Chains A and B, each alone.
Chain A
Amino acid sequence: MENLVNIFVKSIFIDNMVFAYFLGMCSYLAVSKTVKTSTGLGIAVVFVLGFTVPINFLLEKFILKAGALTWISPSLADVDLSFLTFIMFIAVIASMVQLVEMVIEKFAPTLYNSLGIFLPLIAVNCAILGGSLFMQEREYANIGEATVFGLGSGVGFFLAIVGIAAIREKIKYSNIPAPLRGLGITFIITGLMGIAFMSFMGINL
């Protein structure tokens, strides 16, 4: 249990998708003009990461890893399908996004309406594929850890995008040098936020 809490906190603050690895930057920059839309995108990312990371974990464990096919028959012990990783993961993500979209539409229409176009766009958000690839690289031991890591990364992205949106709403009233307005200052603020987030480094529960 302690281990899970540790992974959760670590993936939110220390290994933050946006500030430590620059993942999901495209949508982070494009959608962060108002707090309302960025909250919608943030929630969608938490959802999708929470689903895709554990599913890809199972795929990795039972199909892709070297010798993972032994549960079918022992003669497959030396089959290594890991070169198929990218294509499998991206297929899972694309179909999961579709599925999550349908489920949300059915059971939570209000949430669905507020997420709007962002749900389908998530399929090409690098934070999602990045989450699965980091899960593979860090070799989490069981599906619990993978799920918690996925959710934590999603929450980290949520925090980052809502934070920058709030700052951008306020900064409209500041006197910034004209060439720096818009994109330039957003980059620099993200850098400063990243430095602030680095103060969490080394936290270990």
Chain B
Amino acid sequence: MSTEKEPLFSPKNLKLLSEPLGQSNPITIQVLGICSALAVTVKLKPSIVLAISVMVVMAVSNVVISLLRKSVPPRIRIIVQLVVIASMVILVDQVLKAYAYDVSKQLSVFVGLIITNCIIMGRLEAFALGNKPWPSFLDGLGNAAGYGWILIAVAFFRELLGSGTLLDIQVIPQSFYEAGYVNNGMMILPPMALVVVGIIIWIQRARNKSLVED
């Protein structure tokens, strides 16, 4: 067999990593994983924690499913995928409870909801079932990063405009408040997360005409 060994970071593999950041972003283009994403974006810190958790769960479960892809009968693959994801999420949840208890309380049910996060199921179905472990790992990492940066961008604006802080450190100078500046309380409310994502989609599609729907 004359299999040329592909270099670990061949252009094709790098594309797996970079494409989900823009061209095929899971949130703004593929419309996956919005469920658990928006509610945690009131503050920057829980969003970063959730983004990292999703990245871990996604990369590892992509690799595991990719390793199992030949031995799992197609009929029961959804259950197998759910079990793999669920066990990863349990691990992440236990680690968070042990080392970052207050964040884990803030995230409440949303750590558990990583299980039904459609990005993870979607990538497992669409990619890991048909590819080798290493590209699957990169694909998981890339998609989780694409998901994470939207999450962090939304949280950045909501925390900055809604509470005048970033990572709980005040960034709007006190003199602004004395001059009559008021935090926009609207930004903290759940509906504004949707509007912010809507605006991000707007900007992205305005810059890249090929993404426009009709």
Contact = CB atoms under 8 A, between A and B. Distances in A.
A154 B78 CA distance: 24
A180 B198 contact: yes
A90 interface: yes
B78 A126 contact: no
A123 B198 contact: no
Contact of A26 (B33, B90, B189): B33
Interface string B197-214: 111011111100101111
Interface in B66-95: 78-79, 82-83, 86-87, 89-90, 93-94
Given A126-B113, A182-B213, A188 B194 contact: yes
Interface stretch (A17-25, A61-69, A105-113): A17-25
A87 B191 contact: no
A190 interface: yes
Interface residues of B, number: 50
Contacts of A22: 34-39, 190, 193-194
Interface stretch (A37-45, A128-136, A143-151): A128-136
A59 interface: no
Contacts of A90: 82, 86, 115-116
A83 interface: yes
A180 B117 CA distance: 25
Contacts of B79: 91, 94
Interface residues of A, number: 49
A185 interface: yes
Nearest to A133: B109
Nearest to B192: A191
B37 A83 contact: no
Interface string A165-205: 00000000000011111111111101111110010000000
Contacts of A96: none
Interface of B is mostly: helix
B35 A184 contact: no
A42 to B, nearest CB: 16
Interface of A is mostly: helix
A85 interface: yes
B195 to A, nearest CB: 4
A2 interface: no
A124 interface: yes
A124 B118 contact: yes
Contact of B112 (A85, A123, A194): A85
Interface of B: 28, 31-39, 78-79, 82-83, 86-87, 89-90, 93-94, 108-109, 112-113, 115-118, 121, 189-195, 197-199, 201-206, 209, 211-214
29 contacts: A21-B39, A22-B38, A22-B39, A22-B190, A23-B35, A26-B33, A26-B118, A30-B31, A86-B115, A87-B83, A91-B79, A94-B78, A123-B78, A124-B78, A124-B118, A126-B35, A129-B116, A130-B35, A130-B116, A137-B108, A178-B212, A178-B214, A179-B201, A179-B206, A181-B212, A182-B213, A185-B198, A186-B198, A188-B198
10 cross-chain pairs, A with B, having the tightest CB-CB distances, nearest first? A194-B191, A182-B213, A187-B198, A179-B205, A191-B194, A126-B35, A133-B109, A188-B198, A25-B34, A191-B195
Interface of A: 19-26, 29-30, 83-87, 89-91, 94, 123-130, 133-134, 137, 177-188, 190-195, 198
